[in-house]
Structure 1
Amino acid sequence: MTQSQLLVADNLTATVNELYQKFGAWRTARALLLVAWRQRQTRMQVAELSNSQLRDIGLPEREDSLGHPNFLPLHLRRFG
């Protein structure tokens, strides 16, 4: 690890320890799970947007995935 990574890791450990001391283990874990769930929900909502909508809100566009076989309807896929 580089020195900057050690500083971030120490800072994160100190912050988590402070949260644990102030609120307890269960509340800290619950808050962490809530944040992770909200982040996942945000990513799921953004995944449904078209490239033009992504461009409108300032996010990078996805590459064209129409040629990818997973995006073909089931009756058009070749199995075997």
Structure 2
Amino acid sequence: VARHSGSSRAAVGVLEVDGEVRIFVEDEGRGFDPKAVGLGHQGLVGMRERVELVGGRLLLESAPGEGTRVQVRLPLEVAA
């Protein structure tokens, strides 16, 4: 988080909701426009691919100056 967002703090959580395990990381850093992320940013692409391989979803919310929130949702049977 510190390297990419410029923020020295982040919140991390794990919840069980509606038969899913939800893992999130969020910061109040510099943020970015997710639509402008190109092929040079393989970290996000790789995270999404790994999550989808086990039947999950990766959700990303960010905007310039607004920080970033990454959420992974995994079916409970995969996480067990």
TM-score (norm: length of structure 1):
0.24
Bigger CA radius of gyration = 1
The structure with the greater share of residues assigned to helix is 1
TM-score (norm: length of structure 2):
0.24
The structure with the greater share of residues assigned to strand is 2
